[in-house]
Homo-oligomer: A and B are copies of this chain.
Amino acid sequence: MKKNFYKYLSIFLAVALIVSLAYALVPSSKDVTQASSGNPKLKGSPKEEYYMVTFVSGIEYWKGCFKGMKAAADLYGVKAIYTGAPQFDVNQEVTVLRQVIAKKPAGILVTCANPDALKAPIDEAIKKGIPVITFDADSPKSNRYSVLETGNYNAGAMAARYLGKLLGGKGEVGISTVAAQLNHEQRKQGFIDTLKKEFPGIKVVAIVNDENDQTKAARQISAMLQAHPNIKGIFCTDALGGVGAATAIKEANKVGKVKIVSFDTDKGTLDLIKQGIIDASIAQGTWNMGFWGMTFLFYLKHGIVNPVDNWQKYGINPLPPYVDTGTMVVTKQNVDAFYKVNVIK
């Protein structure tokens, strides 16, 4: 009996051993599925650090850009770090960028306070093998691989179409802008050209320079409304101009009588849209700038974009050089979503 006990136990254990050895040595279908369900080429390391470098680094506008960058960095399993010059100071931004380059990061997204001043450090980084891509404000003469920005002329055209419909295609309008700054000039021109072509019944009767300053905008627009009492609409090419315009039409007791189409989606603007004082604002594709800028850097760094071997030698561009990240019209109907776009989860 005892002899048989150990004999049967041995047989039982031997069978159990064979079964469990089979499990241990043959990869289960679950493991195989796991291994093949992931894409090894599109997975980075948390040690890989990508920087976003800005100027006036504290403003809300860049948060939407960085939110997109962070979404992409999380997707690829790498690290995104935000930094920049606190002031609108070109030399300060160059210093910050050089400090970032010294850390030998995996890649850099930079927006340029001045296109020419940033050229040297950008080219230096690329020479060291660090990919650089510009966003929002370009340095076109640098060797950056690509730029992702708003097509400002088209953004002005979009504003014209919205205001044009709102006014039923007729009446006088004014513009509040930042003089001699390229992106604002383009917005203004797109607005003027589109009205002329598509809404010939609307006349632009006044253009003021608000210098991207809320108080100056309010003062200038008040004066404009007094000089041109028939103005029925105002286009502001900058966010602070829009907030200033709201103050001016409240003071003139013309809320609802003078329509405002503004720019960007900072909290002040969104609140005024919710209150029905600003009718619409042109939102920029900030999330797309960050998301696709980061994606371009990752694909470049990992050698995934490879149109032909030795593309560097042959001068073949591995990335699209220009991306218009687009614009959207924010109104009372969709304003709630834009509070979320700029918030970093």
Instruction: Enumerate chain A interface residues (CB-CB to B < 8 A).
Output: 2-3, 6-7, 9-10, 13-14, 16-17, 20-21, 23-25, 31, 34-43, 68, 71, 75-77, 148, 151, 285, 287-288, 291-292, 304-311, 313-317, 319-326, 328-329, 334, 336-338, 340-341
- Apart from the given pairs A42-B42, A291-B305, A314-B334, 17 other A-B contacts in the complex at a CB distance below 8 Å: A9-B10, A16-B17, A20-B23, A20-B24, A31-B31, A31-B35, A36-B38, A36-B43, A38-B39, A39-B39, A288-B307, A292-B320, A308-B337, A314-B337, A316-B334, A317-B326, A322-B326
Which residues in B have their C-beta under 8 angstroms from that of A39?
Answer: 38-40, 42-43, 75-77
> Which 10 pairs from chain A and chain B are nearest by CB?
A38-B38, A6-B6, A13-B13, A23-B24, A314-B337, A322-B324, A287-B307, A24-B24, A321-B326, A39-B43
Which residues in B have their C-beta under 8 angstroms from that of A337?
Answer: 308, 310-311, 313-314, 316
B320 & A324 in contact (Cβ 8 Å cutoff)? yes
Partner pick for A320 among B37, B288, B306, B314, CB 8 A cutoff? B288
Which residues in B have their C-beta under 8 angstroms from that of A31?
Answer: 31, 34-35
Task: Kindly provide the distance from the CB of A4 to the nearest chain B CB, expressed in whole angstroms.
Answer: 9
Q: How far is the CA of A291 from the CA of B320 in the complex (A)?
A: 10
In this complex, what residue of B is CB-closest to A7? Answer: B6
Which residues in B have their C-beta under 8 angstroms from that of A317?
Answer: 285, 288, 326, 328
Q: How far is the CA of A2 from the CA of B10 in the complex (A)?
A: 13
Q: How far is the CA of A147 from the CA of B7 in the complex (A)?
A: 76
Q: How far is the CA of A336 from the CA of B320 in the complex (A)?
A: 22
In this complex, what residue of B is CB-closest to A31? Answer: B31
**How many subunits of this chain does the assembly comprise?**
2
Cross-chain pairs A/B with CB under 8 angstroms, 20 sampled: A6-B7, A10-B13, A13-B14, A13-B17, A31-B34, A34-B34, A34-B35, A38-B38, A39-B42, A151-B322, A285-B317, A285-B320, A308-B341, A310-B337, A313-B337, A316-B328, A320-B324, A320-B325, A320-B326, A321-B324
Which residues in B have their C-beta under 8 angstroms from that of A322?
Answer: 151, 323-324, 326
Contact (A320, B24) CB under 8 Å given A14-B13, A334-B315, A341-B308:
no
Most chain B CB within a 10 A radius of its CB, from A151, A306, A307, A334: A307
Which residues in B have their C-beta under 8 angstroms from that of A313?
Answer: 334, 337
Q: How far is the CA of A328 from the CA of B328 in the complex (A)?
A: 32
Which residues in B have their C-beta under 8 angstroms from that of A314?
Answer: 334, 336-338
Which residues in B have their C-beta under 8 angstroms from that of A308?
Answer: 287, 337, 340-341
Which residues in B have their C-beta under 8 angstroms from that of A14?
Answer: 13
Q: How far is the CA of A151 from the CA of B146 in the complex (A)?
A: 14
Contact (A323, B320) CB under 8 Å given A17-B17, A68-B307:
yes
Task: Kindly provide the distance from the CB of A63 to the nearest chain B CB, expressed in whole angstroms.
Answer: 13
Partner pick for A38 among B35, B292, B319, B329, CB 8 A cutoff? B35
In this complex, what residue of B is CB-closest to A329? Answer: B315
Q: How far is the CA of A319 from the CA of B16 in the complex (A)?
A: 56
Task: Kindly provide the distance from the CB of A150 to the nearest chain B CB, expressed in whole angstroms.
Answer: 10
Which residues in B have their C-beta under 8 angstroms from that of A2?
Answer: 3
